[in-house]
Structure 1
């Protein structure tokens, strides 16, 4: 892959970023993975994930491009796919943009230009572009919010801004501006109908991005108005309208600034919170940030799985007893077998944390990003790069659920090559394609290292001085990380090194000499010095295997444990058990040690854990029955990373296992 030449560092397309961000994003394309875990994933995105997604979305299965062609008059037919399928295609285009930012492959640019031409031809003269409405004459524009016009618009704006930043071309951006101008005409005036419309609110993020690129203030004003409208209009308890319930399901019962708890559809909520964080970054409104701080704490401390997943239930009720789908339920109610954990929701958890990291400059937000991406995010795509999970449970037991009855097959016992509800796959692929840009942030007086992986940064600090460094590591399988500076300014500046919250007794040396301040888990170690080319920083994160237990109020994991090493959460999977063994028969021996082993021949090379498991021989078969002393058989087995399960045929799996402690 091509590096970004330092004499061609892109600055003209770098957007203005919020005055109230402590840390700024590096320009797209200035960081790239070079070796190791994420480099392999990015290469797979280039060679497999993005091309395969193109085959699906541009062909007769996904049909998304066909919808634009039909609306453009270049093809006959009817709209196919979900109402939000336009948004799926925009996310796919964004993934291509992120790949192009690194590879500079001209064929990708030509491909994007053709998509943009078709979309532009489909767009109506006043800027409206929504194929699910344009191709259904029986419905009107902005008639019914379940048609997801706002969701699609948000992804259009985001994708167009990314395209402009990495190419400098305005062809896609102009389409986005036309659509945004129409939104301003319709939604800036006060209206109860339009005021309650934007429930799936990617348009907030999109409008802020467009504001940052164009500096047109009315886009930011409209983004803030969408925030202010939630909870503004009184609704009757348990009432429904337009096919969607009102209230907590769509974050409509309580104004955001008064919110204390994450409720409702997890994706709708987290896109909303991420957009609100973007608005805060531009306005600095304390009440908005106070609410976001409360919500982030509520999610990560009371409603998040050990894998970073969120959105506990497919169907359920909020604490206000509003009906919800695909979302948050009560605190500490974290079932394993029925956990929904939509891939999009997990990724949105990382998106929200990324924005909060920029606002606060604290390590705990990067810890969540890392937790999601190595576990509940990456579990959404298989090793082949061509099959997907929509939901991500923490336990799978065969023949216990009728997956065929689940709506749109969003819950499946194994990954699928195509999901009729296709929002998650392009969301994940664009995140994998873009993740290197989250590895570093620009601070007021230097740089922050947020994520570890073999990478190269060629960028400029906030004062305009060039910074070039190389990161070498086999993280997450090994804890050794070396960062070498190749070019930097002569004056003193800071480098912030994230010390993960699990990394106890980490060490850091500079040019072989220990730094005088000890690294503290869950913090950034800030090193302020006169750096020079050739300086080498060596970090070592001890990678001990940890036993993890849940809060006592998480009833499903009482007396259960999970295993974790570094950022990776592990699971037991039936291919590693004796034939015919149910996952329900498996127990952990709490006194047995586990050792890490890298297996290059397994799924392209993954780290596993080897140790002793216990198989119960007299498990209960009745609903309730008398029990005598349990009988166990010891076996040697292995655990695989949670993200890697379901790649060896249909299997049972569990992250948490009941534990047996022998007498000492």
Structure 2
């Protein structure tokens, strides 16, 4: 039956609703409410999604045209020419932008965009070889493929070719396009390619641990759409191939280059630590969660749980960034979280969102959404400028004016030779509605506090839930619950860890002082007592039309301290208000940021600045600032106003100093030279 289903799909004989209803199978115990069923009306996120639609996606398509990424597909279709870009994974920038544009069409219907994608998908189809192979770096001129590709198909898949990585992004884009539009044009291309992949790889066939993971996640998505078991079993096969590479020598000083960089140093069920290239790793861990959910594999589940705990307690920046080390774009050792050389690739933030969403769907615990929220409001949107067309590949924790400090990017760029991050943002941003709510039977989870409306079916009755808030600037949340008829169910409202006095769900960071105000909840204007479950307030009642839930979260400015093993942050504090982490930037602080102290007793005032950086809550305090008199070789401190802005908003007003972590007192002075190596970015 499932094989017939795929055949009908390929022939265009099944409509979108028919396909969705034809397949029933086990999956995550909790299901996210689809992005197609959540309509946003939010003053923080909706303008960003509008900018993504109006600026980021068109700029991405235009840059794919201008940099010959589209031309590669045209030449592959003609089977002649010379590969015209730098990397063999450049195909994926088109796939990722199509994915983002597909999500965007549900938010903002656009006939011209829809038609443009139809034309572009036609070019992708023409570039596909008859057996389903799709990889322009070889198809253009098979006798002279890209030098990363090897002479034969899949020959260098582990190390360099990215053939399966390209396929994975194709699958992700195809499912998004199908779900958003009901069209099967791109999905049919993806299924043809996936059938080829499944025929080549598997038990008794070719074996490889894919060099850059994501094909595993993509295959799982195709499995959910079609029910074809080969897609799930091949995803599982790829995961199981890790840790069997014969060329890996753990005693070599460069062992990471052959093993942990690819998460290929041991079988995944034996891995206990987040290691290697952070984006590859978090795509793998997302796939491990997928396969654990779909197969019930307890060893796989235990491994991904252990790895997540290592990440959140040893390797997570206070902004939610991951991947500390520029060399290899990788996780460092435990507590290796430097500031001036912090890498924090934007793609890793995207991958971390995917991973934590899956961990929540597995376990139903608020701590995973706490981390997801931290990434969203800080380390993710820091990667795109407020203009929607300038980006950070890496996301530093500190920029110093002296050249003596090796640093990552001090300013944003419009595009990169390796432009994976801009197109990854283009696809993640408009998918945000799919992260707001989730459901398991009679339990309805409110995970993110984003104004808008959704309609669910609970106990076979339609329930409309409307959120109204001014989050993240204010902590007053309002939910209006309107079932078609009165019905019993549980509304589970996430109680953010930061609102309960927990900086992160581990001891990696802590607030310097206890929380002063408690979370309060009213239903229809009356305070209610509530039980808690896994970090959620459980509101169990028979809901009637226009029942109103009001939640008040404390929004004090908090000083954050790092674990004492994080050497760069000893004696320092970061600033957080609600879910938002703050920084000081040169523009607001007399041209510097590295000379500011924040003593423990510092009191901050808050003020919303609607005209500043597209509207922000600004923090200010009077603090000591170090002053250097170069002429007299003297150092002193003076009192000045420290102005802090949300970390995500830095580097939108020119190039200069920035810092997230502030010394609490002056304990030492560094005497420095003027020259230092520069840190580069890119795969």
State the TM-score, normalized to the length of structure 1.
Answer: 0.89
Are residues 1:482 and 2:494 paired? no
CA distance in 1 between partners of 2:484 and 2:305 (Å): 35
- State how far apart, in whole Å, the 2-side matches of 1:337 and 1:202 are: 30
> Who is 2:162 aligned against?
148
Gaps in structure 2 of 5+ consecutive residues: 1-15, 146-151, 501-517, 668-683
Q: For 1:299-310, what aligned pairs fall within 5 Å after superposition?
A: 299-310=311-322
Does residue 601 (structure 1) correspond to residue 634 (structure 2)? The answer is no
Structure 1 residue 465: Cα displacement: 2.9
* Counterpart Cα distance in 1 of 2:463 and 2:432: 19
Question: What aligned pairs does 1:256-267 form with structure 2 within 5 A after superposition?
Answer: 256-267=268-279
Aligned-residue offset at 1:114: 1.1
Q: How many angstroms does 1:510 deviate by?
A: 0.8
Q: What is residue 442 of structure 1 aligned with on the other side?
A: 439
CA offsets 1:298-346 (integer angstroms, 9 cap, x no match) = 001100000000001012xxxxxxxxx1001110011000011100112
Q: Distance in 1 between matches of 2:329 and 2:33?
A: 33
Could you tell me whether the CA contact under 8 Å between 1:231 and 1:253 is conserved in 2? yes
Match of 2:637 in 1: 632
- Equivalent residue runs for 1:93-104 within 5 Å: 93-104=98-109
Q: Which residue of 2 aligns with 1:653?
A: 658
How far does residue 412 in structure 1 lie from its aligned partner after superposition?
2.2
CA–CA distance in structure 2, aligned partners of residues 613 and 110 of structure 1:
56
- Is the CA contact (8 Å cut-off) linking 1:344 and 1:427 kept in structure 2? yes
Matches within 5 A, 1:202-241: 202-237=214-249
Q: Is the 8 A contact 1:544 1:565 kept in 2?
A: yes
Question: What is the deviation of 1:135?
Answer: 2.7
Q: Per-residue CA shift, 1:585-619, capped at 9, x if unaligned?
A: 22113222011211011011111111123211359
Note the 1:110-121 alignment, pairs <5 A.
110-121=115-126
Answer with 349-358 or 229-238: which moved more. Answer: 229-238
Contact 2:491 2:538 in 1 (8 A): yes
Find the aligned partners of 1:593 and 1:482 in 2 and give their Cα distance: 29
Correspondence 1:466 to 2:466:
no
2:187 is equivalent to residue 173 of structure 1: yes
CA 1:468–1:383 in 2, change beyond 3 Å: closer, same or farther?
Answer: same
- Residue 451, structure 1, aligned to residue 463, structure 2: no
Equivalent residue, structure 2, for 1:386? 389
Distance in 2 between residues matched to 1:130 and 1:253, nearest whole Å:
28
Conserved in 2, the CA contact under 8 Å of 1:238 and 1:245?
no
Aligned position for 1:37: 44
* Whole-Å separation in 2 of the counterparts to 1:236 and 1:250: 11
Is there any run of 5+ residues in structure 1 with no aligned partner, and where? 1-9, 316-324
- Residue in 2 aligned with 1:24? 31
* Structure 1 residue 398, shift from structure 2 partner: 2.9
- Pairing 1:391-540 to 2, within 5 Å after superposition: 391-400=394-403, 411-461=408-458, 463-504=459-500, 505-517=518-530, 523-540=535-552
Match of 1:330 in 2: 333
Contact 2:487 2:544 in 1 (8 A): no
Shift of residue 132, structure 1, vs aligned partner = 1.8
CA 1:428/1:17 → structure 2, altered by over 3 Å: closer, same or farther?
A: farther
Q: 2:326 is paired with a residue of what secondary structure? A: strand
User: Are residues 141 and 402 of structure 1, via their aligned partners in 2, closer, same or farther at CA, if it must alter by over 3 Å?
Assistant: farther
Aligned counterparts of 1:383 and 1:75: Cα–Cα separation in 2: 41
Give the Cα–Cα distance (whole angstroms) in 1 for the partners of residues 251 and 179 of structure 2. Answer: 44
Q: Which moved more, 1:45-54 or 1:248-257?
A: 45-54
**Residue 186 in structure 1 maps to residue 200 in structure 2:** yes
Distance in 2 separating the partners of 1:14 and 1:423: 31
Provide closer, same or farther for how the CA distance between residues 326 and 96 of structure 1 changes in structure 2, counting only shifts above 3 A: same
Deviates further, 564-573 or 26-35: 26-35
In structure 2, the CA distance between the partners of 1:166 and 1:439, relative to structure 1 (3 Å rule), is same
- Cα distance, 1:81 vs. partner? 3.4
The 8 Å contact of residues 264 and 327 in structure 1, kept in 2 or not, is answered as yes
* CA distance in 2 between partners of 1:54 and 1:236 (Å): 40
The answer on 1:49 being equivalent to 2:61 is no
Aligned to 2:503: none
- Alpha carbons 1:381, 1:425 under 8 Å: kept: yes
Q: 1:125 aligns with which of 123, 126, 130?
A: 130
Give the aligned partner of residue 347 of structure 2: 344
Deviations 1:230-257 (A, max 9, x none): 01344341699xx993111101111110
Classify 1:29/1:236 alpha carbon distance in 2 versus 1 (closer, same or farther; 3 Å).
closer
CA distance in 2, matches of 1:248, 1:306: 24
Match of 1:318 in 2: none
Quick check: 1:370 aligned with 2:352? no
SS in 2 for 1:370: helix
In 2, the alpha carbon distance for the partners of 1:273 and 1:506 equals: 33
Q: Aligned-pair RMSD on alpha carbons?
A: 2.5
Q: TM-score, normalised by structure 2?
A: 0.87
Pick closer, same or farther for the CA change 1:282–1:438 going to 2, 3 Å: same
CA contact (8 A) 1:599 1:608 kept: yes
How far residue 488 of structure 1 moved from its aligned partner, in angstroms, is 4.3
Identify the residue that residue 319 of structure 1 maps to in structure 2. none
How much does 1:75 deviate? 8.9
Question: Quick one: distance in 2 between partners of 1:356 and 1:17?
Answer: 22
Retained in 2: the 8 A contact 1:598–1:607? yes
Seen in structure 2, the aligned counterparts of structure 1 residues 11 and 479 have a Cα distance that, compared at 3 Å, is: farther
- CA distance change for structure 1 residues 492 and 480 in 2, over 3 Å: closer, same or farther? same
SS at match of 2:562: coil
- 1:41-98, CA deviations, whole angstroms, 9 ceiling, x for partnerless residues? 11111221212212111x223x222211121229955331322111121111000110
Secondary structure of the corresponding residue to residue 536 of structure 1: strand
**Which region of structure 1 is more displaced relative to structure 2, 229-238 or 197-206?**
229-238
Q: Aligned partners of 1:312, 1:619: CA distance in 2, in Å? A: 35
Q: Quick one: which of 270, 283, 308 aligns to 2:295?
A: 283
Residues 575 and 648 in structure 1, CA contact (< 8 A), matched pair in contact too: yes
